[in-house]
């Protein structure tokens, strides 16, 4: 079993300690580093290159949004999972714009947190159902700086098809059943999409697809 390396980013020591103890009860999870401020998060992420950064918003020196932006700019393969007490739409959208793969609130159960870490590590997106539609609506206005044709030139027809199904919130297994292909093939297609678009998760890929007009709201319902 491959171990998922995690970097904890929170300015409260007791929160980090409690989270570490809970996560390391899982055989496949390992906390490799902790940071109590945003600048340290970026430095440790680039040095340790964890699989997942568990990121809070309110931290000294650099907030979680800017830390996420800086990490993703240099190491797009690192998955950022937000774990915060802030549920404002402005924070949610800003984190996703910066490249976060998922957004959870601190009242989430241990089981849900563990599942979310494994999911974002596997390229899945983690968005609370209550905010998923708001996120899609927010990012659905195409970005005029790049045309749909330029995106289409990078992606194959099958890759676009897989991404559209991912935008509907379908899991890799659901997509495999819909297209009558293996889960491994779905993973390969998504990996190719991530590489071509320069992103590290399906959340980023879907957001970019919406931004660039690759598909619309009617295709995400």
- Are the C-beta atoms of residues 41 and 63 closer than 8 Å to each other? no
221 residues of the chain, pLDDT tens digit each: 689 999 999 999 999 999 999 999 999 999 999 999 999 999 999 999 999 999 999 899 999 999 999 999 899 889 999 998 887 778 888 888 888 988 888 888 899 899 999 988 887 778 765 556 666 666 655 555 555 556 667 888 899 888 888 877 788 888 999 999 998 898 899 888 888 887 767 777 877 777 777 765 555 44
Structural domains of the chain, count: 2
- Give residue for tokens 């007009």: 213
Examine the domain organization and report whether 97 and 204 are in the same domain: no
What range defines the domain where residue 172 resides? 138-219
Q: Can you tell me which residue has the tokens 């995106």?
A: 151
The token pair at 128 is 């609370």
3-state secondary structure at position 213: coil
The CB density around residue 32, as the number of other CB atoms within 10 Å, is: 15
- Model pTM score: 0.71
148 shares a domain with 100:
no
SS3 letters across 81-95: EEEECCCCHHHHHHH
| Domain boundary, last residue among 72, 106, 130 | 130
| CATH code: domain of residue 142 | 3.40.50.2300
Q: Which one of 90, 105, 130 terminates a domain?
A: 130
Same domain, 115 and 146: no
Can you state the angle between helices 202-211 and 89-98, rounded to 10 degrees? 100
65-97 pLDDT per residue, tens: 999 999 998 998 899 999 988 877 788 888 888
């Amino acid at each position: 079993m491959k171990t998922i390396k995690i970097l904890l980013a929170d300015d409260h020591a007791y929160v980090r300690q409690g989270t570490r103890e809970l996560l390391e009860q899982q055989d496949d999870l390992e906390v490799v580093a902790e940071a109590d401020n945003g600048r340290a998060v970026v430095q440790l992420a680039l040095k340790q290159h964890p699989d997942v950064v568990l990121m809070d918003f309110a931290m000294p020196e650099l907030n979680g949004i800017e830390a996420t932006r800086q990490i993703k700019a240099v190491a797009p393969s690192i998955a950022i999972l937000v774990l915060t007490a802030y549920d404002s739409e402005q924070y949610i959208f800003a984190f996703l714009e910066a490249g976060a793969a998922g957004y959870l609130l601190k009242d989430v159960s241990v089981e849900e947190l563990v599942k979310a870490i494994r999911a974002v590590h596997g390229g899945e997106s983690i968005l609370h159902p209550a905010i998923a539609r708001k996120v899609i609506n927010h990012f659905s206005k195409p970005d005029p700086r790049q045309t749909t044709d330029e995106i289409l030139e990078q992606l194959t027809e099958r890759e676009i098809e897989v991404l559209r199904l991912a935008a509907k919130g379908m899991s890799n297994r659901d997509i495999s059943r819909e297209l009558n292909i293996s889960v491994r093939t779905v993973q390969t297609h998504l990996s190719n999409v991530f590489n071509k678009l320069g992103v590290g998760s399906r959340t980023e890929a879907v957001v970019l697809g919406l931004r660039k007009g690759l598909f619309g709201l009617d295709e995400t319902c």
